[in-house]
């Protein structure tokens, strides 16, 4: 199919070149005569003539609109190119106007919500967050601390984007430490990301409970999630607040476990730790929704784990499960 199309295009170009040369020689376009002398069918010649007209290579003779003649390629293209260039210049002026107008609002935006202290900024969209994260990554000098709950539900595309952003950091010697939920050890995309980043020097640990989502650059700038459920962020630069967040991270890091695939570490061990944590949270009176959020699991998965625990302990209620867990030594 491709060969046929290529042959058709080649034949059409040959017909155009032949007719253009004929028209130059005779200073006119006589379709019937040209077809005979060039050995073309009338339909082939008419099609070639129409294409030459569209390209501006055949034009009507000034003062005699009944005749046509061939013109120089420069003359054929000059007016069309000039028109396009004029449109491009007009669009460039429009772009410059849009940029100049937007630039007037930049100072207001960069101080939005931060006029009192200059140390708090709210980003309302995911694009804004990504833009600032990329800029902070490029400017980072020494260290990145990150807590990423919900590791078991992370998608492949964000993980690939994170690796592309983190690789330059690690390659220039920036220290990177990240906390995930234990559930990330069961998740293929998380396993692939951690393996690639660890090879570059990144450090990763997991815990059944995390204090929340945060990214901290050089212990100076922290990104926190907004509470409206959107993908925005609150950017904190106030030193005392950032230091407090770093302290929370260090406390969790000390008790967290180095990241390992669940299969490599032993499924039974990981599952046992998860069951004990769920029992502790249930004993503390947390609802299923709160347990799921604390462990970074879906509500459906959490309830399935709870049902499995009740069955394993031979309990018909959560109170009975708590008592059985104490007797078996799972809970103090």
Residue 288 tokens read as: 């299923």
Within 10 angstroms of residue 71's Cβ, the number of other Cβ atoms is 17
Strand partners, 224: 234
Q: Is 161 helix (H, G, I), strand (E, B) or coil?
A: helix
pTM of the model: 0.53
Q: Are 174 and 136 in contact (CB under 8 A)?
A: no
Residue 286 tokens read as: 């947390």
The sign of the CA dihedral 22, 25, 29, 31 is negative
Torsion region of 331: left, alpha or beta (phi above 0 gives left; psi -120 to 50 gives alpha):
beta
Q: Is 226 helix (H, G, I), strand (E, B) or coil?
A: coil
User: Residue 86 contacts by C-beta under 8 Å, 6 or more apart in sequence?
Assistant: none
pLDDT of residue 115: 42
Q: Is 286 helix (H, G, I), strand (E, B) or coil?
A: coil
Tens digits of residue pLDDT in 133-184: 989 999 999 999 999 887 555 566 777 778 888 889 999 999 999 998 887 8
Residue 211 pLDDT grade (very low, low, confident, very high; cuts 50, 70, 90): confident
Q: 259: burial class by Cβ within 10 Å (0-12, 13-18, 19+)?
A: buried
Q: 96: burial class by Cβ within 10 Å (0-12, 13-18, 19+)?
A: exposed
Highest mean pLDDT among 108-122, 236-250, 291-305: 236-250
Strand partners, 180: 148, 206
Closest CA to 124 of 137, 113, 136: 113
Tens digits of residue pLDDT in 277-308: 787 777 777 788 887 777 767 788 788 888 88
What's the start-to-end Cα distance of the chain, in Å? 76
Buried b (16+ CB within 10 A) or exposed e, 197-227: beeeebebbbbbbbeeebbbbebbbbbbbee
User: Residue 92 contacts by C-beta under 8 Å, 6 or more apart in sequence?
Assistant: none
Report the chain's mean pLDDT, rounded to a whole number.
Answer: 82
Q: Is 294 helix (H, G, I), strand (E, B) or coil?
A: helix
Strand partners, 60: 68
Highest mean pLDDT among 81-95, 102-116, 118-132, 231-245: 231-245
Place of tokens 């692939």: 192
Please give the DSSP secondary-structure letter assigned to residue 141: -
Helix (H) or strand (E) holding 149: none
Question: Checking DSSP bridges between strand 257-258 and strand 203-207, what pairing results, if any?
Answer: antiparallel
* Alpha carbon distance 227, 245 (integer Å): 17
pLDDT of residue 209: 80
Q: Is 320 helix (H, G, I), strand (E, B) or coil?
A: helix
The answer, yes or no, to whether residue 217 has pLDDT greater than 90, is yes
């Amino acid at each position: 199919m491709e060969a046929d199309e290529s042959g058709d295009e080649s034949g059409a170009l040959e017909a155009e070149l032949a007719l253009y040369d004929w028209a130059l020689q005779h200073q006119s376009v006589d379709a019937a005569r040209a077809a005979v002398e060039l050995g073309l069918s009338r339909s082939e010649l008419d099609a070639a003539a129409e294409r030459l007209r569209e390209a501006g290579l055949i034009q009507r003779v000034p003062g005699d609109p009944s005749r046509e003649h061939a013109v120089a390629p420069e003359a054929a293209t000059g007016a069309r190119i000039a028109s396009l260039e004029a449109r491009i210049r007009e669009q460039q002026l429009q772009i410059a106007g849009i940029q100049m107008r937007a630039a007037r609002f930049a100072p207001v935006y960069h101080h939005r919500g931060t006029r009192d202290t200059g140390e708090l900024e709210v980003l309302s969209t995911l694009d804004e967050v990504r833009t600032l994260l990329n800029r902070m990554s490029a400017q980072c000098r020494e260290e990145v601390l990150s807590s990423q709950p919900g590791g078991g539900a992370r998608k492949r595309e964000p993980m690939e984007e994170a690796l592309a952003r983190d690789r330059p950091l690690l390659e220039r010697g920036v220290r990177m430490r990240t906390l995930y939920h234990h559930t990330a050890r069961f998740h293929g995309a998380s396993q692939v990301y951690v393996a690639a980043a660890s090879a570059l020097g990144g450090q990763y640990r997991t815990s059944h409970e995390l204090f929340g989502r945060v990214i901290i650059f050089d212990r100076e700038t922290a990104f926190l999630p907004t509470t409206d459920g959107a993908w925005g962020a609150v950017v904190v630069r106030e030193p005392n607040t950032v230091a407090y967040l770093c302290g929370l991270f260090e406390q969790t890091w000390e008790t967290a476990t180095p990241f390992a695939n669940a299969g490599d570490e032993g499924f039974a061990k990981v599952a046992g730790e998860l069951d004990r944590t769920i029992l502790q949270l249930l004993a503390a009176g947390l609802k299923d929704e709160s347990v799921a959020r604390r462990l970074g699991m879906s509500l459906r998965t959490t309830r399935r784990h709870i049902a499995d625990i009740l069955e394993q302990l031979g309990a018909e209620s959560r109170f009975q499960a708590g008592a059985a867990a104490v007797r078996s030594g799972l809970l103090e």
